[in-house]
Structure 1
Amino acid sequence: MKTEQRRFMRIGITGGIAAGKSTVSKHLISRGYNVIDYDQLAREIVLPHSPIVKQIEEEFGSHSVNEDGTVNRLWLAHNVFTDDNKRHHINDIMHPAVYALAVQKERDIITQNPDARMIFHDIPLLIETLDIAKKNGFVFDHIMTIEADDDIRIQRMIETRGMAKAEARARIDAQLTREQREATADVVIDSNLNVKDMLSIVDNTLENWLTA
């Protein structure tokens, strides 16, 4: 395989649900960095009547898609994402498409800002999809995982997403463990801290990377 030639650092940001990735990403954007939001990419690939929506309907039946051609998120949440096999199946459909779109987004950033020193990829399931990333030519210079204790994350989901405690617990249990993420990441950011202290650690980490 041809060695990738680039002048910028590619940074992966990950972490468990409700751990604080969005807070970190918003901070990076406020500082002028480019952040590719994979949740947003996932929404883009399922625009009404898109090829991915049609594939989801073929695999999971008509209940998985609304009459207006949008995915039926509520039905999928209760009938697909609660089943390990079905969840893996829909991820196998969506993740390659998301990464393919990310490749284009990154190219667009470099075209518009050829002097960019860092490009961040905010990927909730980064550790789970590293093989797909590599197939798309993505080698990350650093991986940062944002972590918080489970009880804090559950409380955040209850307060900000209106989830029941059991649903929040199930969302956490459906993902890799904190230990698995930390084993792959080279930096762990503790979001049990107050936001100011957490973001100060993020800033210091970036400074260390840029001056290394």
Structure 2
Amino acid sequence: MRIGITGGIGSGKSFVCQLLKQRGIEVYDCDSAAKRLMHTSAQLRQQLSALIGPDTYLQDGRLNKAAVAQFLLTSEENAKAIDNIVHPAVFDDYEKSGIDWVESAILYESGLDRLLDKVIVVTAPEDVRIKRVMQRDHISEAKAKEWITRQLPQEIVRSKADYEIINDGETPLEPQIDNLFK
């Protein structure tokens, strides 16, 4: 059975995945895989360079994050063009990994849910999410709110998911994870 774990920025989905790993469950991390593939896949590097331009990669071979961000933020079409290159590569890598569990912040937006049997959403109140993002990324409250509003609203993700784990800092997580296995 393939199981997806999702949740908006600051919800604590990565923390829940760490708890699963402590139980011996391997979880494929889509964000890490995308970063790895953008550095290691010759095909992905070629496609991104053809789309964005010669400044996509630095002289030392590392991804030029500033150039990619500038291209990405210029238009919604540019963001979709990058997604159309990166998402299929990540999906393919996930399918080849043999790992049943997968973590993705944009599970529904990317279409990854079509490959899964069940989806778990990790949720937290917005004020908690804002504080977590501000502390983790050392950004302003306004920036944290902006990042949250760029994602699919938590209520929509919750309505599509099969299970919910509440990670509000008060509700114990271990019993909720135990219930997943019942």
Aligned pair count? 182
Q: Is structure 2 residue 27 aligned with structure 1 residue 35? A: yes
Bigger Rg, structure 1 or 2: 1
Offset, 1:48: 5.2
What's the C-alpha RMSD, in Å, of the aligned pairs? 2.0
- So what's the TM-score if we normalise by structure 2? 0.89
Preserved CA contact (<8 Å) 1:34 1:120: yes
AA paired with 1:91?
Answer: D
State the AA in 2 paired with 1:201. Q
Tell me by how many angstroms 1:79 deviates: 4.2
Q: Which letter maps to 2:48?
A: I
Q: Which amino acid aligns with 2:152?
A: L
Equivalent residue in structure 1 for 2:108, among 112, 115, 127: 127
**Structure-to-structure mapping, 1:1-212, within 5 angstroms:** 9-47=1-39, 50-81=42-73, 83-106=75-98, 109=99, 119-130=100-111, 134=114, 138=115, 140-194=116-170, 197-206=172-181, 208=182
Is the CA contact (8 Å cut-off) linking 1:64 and 1:76 kept in structure 2? Answer: yes
| Shift, 1:162, TM fit | 1.5
Whether contact under 8 Å (1:14, 1:146) holds in the other structure is: yes
Question: CA offsets, 1:160-187, max 9 Å, x none?
Answer: 1112323222211111111221121011
Cα contact 2:3–2:117 (8 A) shared by 1: yes
Q: Distance in 2 between matches of 1:82 and 1:199?
A: 42
- The equivalent of 1:3 in structure 2 is none
Name which of structure 1's ranges 181-190 and 68-77 shifts more when overlaid on structure 2.
Answer: 68-77
**Runs of 4 or more off by more than 6 Å in structure 1?**
none
Matching residue's letter, 1:171: W
CA 1:39/1:64 → structure 2, altered by over 3 Å: closer, same or farther? same
Unmatched runs of 5 consecutive residues or more in structure 1: 1-8, 110-118
For 1:82 and 1:148, the matched residues in 2 are separated by 31
Give me the identity figure in percent.
29
Q: Is the 8 A contact 1:36 1:120 kept in 2?
A: yes
Q: TM (normalized to structure 1)?
A: 0.77
Q: How far is the alpha carbon of 1:23 from its aligned partner?
A: 0.5
